[in-house]
Amino acid sequence: MNKFASKFKELREEKGLSQVELAKELGFTQSAIAKWESGDRNPSLDLLVTIARYFKVTTDYLLGLED
């Protein structure tokens, strides 16, 4: 699992959200959430910024470049 995948899943679980609930909150599909969490795919830069804003973290944090 890549850094983004583990950070993303960790943040979702900390909020107590299922993949379906998070997908609805962000306007993504559940399958996109699942692929990002498994490391099969990564979000585009625009979506990465959306995710960072939602979780109130930096993109560097999501990418594992800072703690």
Percent of the chain with pLDDT over 70: 99
Q: What is the pLDDT of residue 63?
A: 94
Q: What's the Rg (C-alpha) of the chain?
A: 11
pTM of the model: 0.91
End-to-end CA distance of the chain: 17
- Please report where in the chains the tokens 């795919």 appear, as a residue: 41
Please determine, for residue 50, whether its predicted confidence score (pLDDT) is greater than 90: yes
Q: What is the pLDDT of residue 67?
A: 79
Give residue-wise pLDDT tens across range 12-39: 999 999 999 999 999 999 999 999 999 9
Kindly list the structural domains of the chain, giving each domain's residue range(s) and its CATH number in brackets, ordered by start.
3-62 (1.10.260.40)
